[in-house]
Structure 1
């Protein structure tokens, strides 16, 4: 990947990618925790790539490219994801492709969809829920948002902390819950821990 023009403004996804590179450098012992904290602060304050270029100058050349998540070109290439467990636990995380439509129908089973490192098949993603005594958790990257207006509650609750419009993918939650709990949140951070 070629080095971006130093005059181009950074996106939120690029800032998060740079923080990830600094985190990796910390884990490898290339920079210490104080340097990580100072450089991270400077990344969040930076406006253009030129503002952060010097923060990467002493890292190996492979780490300098901005790793912005790629999106598949066609929705047809991505299969529908249908986790419908009974008395089980489902957790989808890491590098995976989020299809344009997801159907979730668990019975007495917690389901977690961690989209922080995922690719997205579409800009608008519909999640059709039918929760029966099951908690559902959706973890989004910082550039994504979620709307839960289409969820009908029969007991349970919805806790959506990602409603503000963002430039990235937008999730639309529909369906119903039978004493199920829906949680939509962003990644939590403390120093170098992420969850």
Structure 2
């Protein structure tokens, strides 16, 4: 690393370091115990100096690390995405374009928006919900955060596991009404090499 060893590490940089450790494990350079131990140390580290030693014995080419979606350059795309399922499930995942506004209307349905590998048209995403007996799950990319701006849940729940903790990642704002339903906002879950 060429950074000042006393400079603080960002969440996006932690994710990139973890990706390199994961790739090194898949290549057989690290065993599972080493991977678990180093991953723990990455989360505990505060500065570049603390994480540099975790990569010192790995080649620079180990696991080409993609730029996290949260810091990719914005691209042009649609202004709005409307999803209106009835008695079904809808999922967006992989490499898809997230517009600045997503409207979810549904009944007895589930909607999952996996934004981990998506491309964004701007630095903010507004999600407007109005559904009955349905669920919405939003998985944010590294560095992104969410605000639930007055979601009215009637006999339902709103869970935000990705609140603002600093940084300048993509900001998601969720508002609207969820009747007999649930809204869940989170980051990627991990267990060894499984991610979901």
**TM bracket (short chain):** 0.7 to 0.9
Q: Structure 1 residue 192 and structure 2 residue 193: aligned?
A: yes
Segments of structure 1 that go 5 or more residues without pairing to the other structure are: none
The CA distance in 2 between the partners of 1:51 and 1:68, in whole Å, is 22
Structure 1 residues 121 and 46, CA gap change in structure 2 (3 angstroms) = same
Structure 1 residues 81 and 98, CA gap change in structure 2 (3 angstroms) = same
Q: Structure 1 residue 146 and structure 2 residue 111: aligned?
A: no
Aligned to 1:5: 3
Partner of 2:147, secondary structure, is strand
Aligned to 1:87: 87
Partner of 1:177, secondary structure, is strand
Q: Is 1:14–1:68's contact at 8 Å kept on the other side of the alignment?
A: no
The CA distance in 2 between the partners of 1:66 and 1:11, in whole Å, is 15
Runs of 4+ in 1 over 6 A off after TM superposition: none
Structure 1 residues 98 and 143, CA gap change in structure 2 (3 angstroms) = same
The CA distance in 2 between the partners of 1:49 and 1:118, in whole Å, is 28
Cα deviation for residue 131 of structure 1 reads 1.3
Aligned to 1:43: 42
The CA distance in 1 between the partners of 2:162 and 2:47, in whole Å, is 26
TM-score, with structure 1 as normaliser: 0.81
TM-score, with structure 2 as normaliser: 0.81
Q: Structure 1 residue 134 and structure 2 residue 130: aligned?
A: no
The CA distance in 2 between the partners of 1:183 and 1:47, in whole Å, is 29
Q: Is 1:104–1:128's contact at 8 Å kept on the other side of the alignment?
A: yes
Q: Is 2:74–2:123's contact at 8 Å kept on the other side of the alignment?
A: no
Partner of 1:31, secondary structure, is coil
Q: Per-residue displacement from partner, 1:3-54 (whole Å, max 9, x unpaired)?
A: 6535454211111111112112212322111111222233234344454344
Q: Is 1:5–1:49's contact at 8 Å kept on the other side of the alignment?
A: yes
Deviates more, 1:131-140 or 1:184-193: 184-193
In the alignment of these two chains, the number of paired residues is 191
Q: Is 1:71–1:121's contact at 8 Å kept on the other side of the alignment?
A: no
Aligned to 2:163: 163
Indicate the RMSD between aligned Cα atoms, in angstroms: 2.5
Q: Is 2:83–2:104's contact at 8 Å kept on the other side of the alignment?
A: yes
The CA distance in 1 between the partners of 2:106 and 2:147, in whole Å, is 21
